[in-house]
């Protein structure tokens, strides 16, 4: 059966293979060209990414639901087996937390008194939207999530993504019904943070592993394992004081940080909007409204 087509193929082969080879080489060149273009024009690539992600988002949304249910069922079975052990742990931690609660109440009262004394003006209260994780893009080369909320729901590029535990990442690109979150563990993530009670400034740099690293620490500043890390708010990308993680290891190779957020448990994520304009632009859904809001005075006198 294959004899006849093959002989025909042999006659036409030189021209055909030449054309095919040319098409192949031009596509390889196009791929390399796109990589370079992606470095040159980041905004263009982001908008293309957002549009394509928007198109695929409904499929991802549908697919991630059964996956979530299965994961939940497995988690429940796992919890059942560890029930009594967990109970003991919870009793212990409850006793400890009650002490902390009384301490916190006392501090809150004291804080309120001091604020009244100083006529302290509180910072803006954040508004937030909650969205479901519909894709967890795996691999050794990029750490990002896709959520099922977009610009039409009030999401905007640059917003901080959080769970109750801590910082997840930031919105890297926003489409009309989906956003992509760059995780704090991604290679391209750089977050200004404060370390420990001394509030040492540093940058938290992702390296595509589960443990991002602290870089650009001032020399002579001591950091030890267990130090708590919060966002510093420098550079205007994030508000001050969002919990990030704890210092896990300090060695010659660098300072490893264990984030509070466990990536595999992420199911719902909050996008915080602190109304931080700065370099990120107003997070208004409509362009006209954004211009008006900027032109108007920010607060009533």
For other proteins, the binding residues (CB under 8 A) are: 20, 23-24, 27-28, 30-35, 37-39, 45, 48-49, 52-53, 56, 59-60, 63-64, 67-68, 71, 75, 133-146, 172, 180, 182, 186-188, 207-210, 262-267
- Please say which residue, 24 or 100, places its beta carbon nearer to other proteins: 24
Instruction: Report residue 203 as tokens.
Output: 């940058």
- Please say which residue, 19 or 222, places its beta carbon nearer to other proteins: 19
- Give the Cα separation of 27 and 201 in Å (integer): 46
> How far apart are CB 44 and other proteins at their closest, in Å?
10
- Please say which residue, 134 or 156, places its beta carbon nearer to other proteins: 134
> How far apart are CB 49 and other proteins at their closest, in Å?
5
CA 181, 184, 190, 195 dihedral sign is positive
Q: 3-state SS string over 223-292?
A: CCCCCEEEECCHHHCCCCCCEEEEEEEEECCEEEEEECCCHHHCCEEEEEECCCCHHHCCCCCCHHHHHH
- Please say which residue, 135 or 257, places its beta carbon nearer to other proteins: 135
* Closest C-alpha to 163, from 142, 148, 183, 177: 183
> How far apart are CB 84 and other proteins at their closest, in Å?
22
> How far apart are CB 140 and other proteins at their closest, in Å?
4
- Please say which residue, 136 or 284, places its beta carbon nearer to other proteins: 136
- Please say which residue, 143 or 157, places its beta carbon nearer to other proteins: 143
> How far apart are CB 72 and other proteins at their closest, in Å?
8
**DSSP class of residue 220?**
T
Cβ atoms 281, 290 nearer than 8 A = yes
* Closest C-alpha to 135, from 70, 64, 48, 239: 64
Cβ atoms 192, 200 nearer than 8 A = no
Q: Please provide residue 100's backbone torsions phi and psi, each rounded to the nearest 5 degrees.
A: -65, -35
């Amino acid at each position: 059966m294959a004899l006849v087509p093959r002989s025909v193929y042999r006659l036409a082969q030189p021209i055909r293979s030449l054309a095919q080879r040319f098409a192949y080489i031009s596509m390889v060149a196009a791929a390399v060209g796109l990589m370079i273009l992606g470095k040159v024009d980041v905004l263009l690539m982001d908008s293309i990414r957002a549009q394509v992600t928007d198109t695929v988002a409904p499929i991802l949304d549908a697919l991630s639901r059964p996956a979530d249910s299965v994961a939940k069922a497995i988690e429940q079975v796992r919890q059942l087996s560890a029930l009594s052990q967990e109970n003991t742990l919870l009793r212990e931690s409850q006793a400890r937390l009650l002490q902390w609660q009384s301490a916190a109440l006392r501090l809150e009262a004291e804080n309120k008194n001091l604020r009244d004394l100083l006529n302290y003006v509180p910072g803006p209260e954040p508004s937030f939207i909650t969205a479901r994780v519909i894709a967890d893009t795996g691999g050794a080369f990029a750490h990002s999530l896709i959520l099922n909320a977009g610009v039409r729901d009030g999401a905007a590029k640059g917003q901080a993504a959080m769970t109750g535990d801590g910082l997840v990442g930031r919105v890297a690109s926003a489409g009309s019904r989906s956003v992509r979150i760059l995780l704090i563990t991604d290679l391209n993530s750089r977050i200004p943070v404060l370390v420990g009670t001394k509030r040492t400034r540093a940058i938290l740099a992702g390296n595509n592993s589960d443990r991002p690293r602290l870089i650009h620490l001032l020399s002579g500043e001591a950091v030890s394992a267990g130090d708590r890390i919060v966002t510093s708010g420098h550079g205007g990308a994030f508000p001050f004081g969002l919990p990030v993680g704890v210092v896990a290891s300090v060695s010659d190779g660098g300072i490893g940080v264990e984030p509070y957020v466990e990536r595999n448990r992420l199911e719902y994520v909050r996008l915080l909007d602190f109304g931080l304009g700065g370099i990120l632009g107003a997070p208004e859904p409509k362009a006209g409204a954004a211009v008006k809001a900027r032109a108007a005075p920010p607060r009533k006198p």
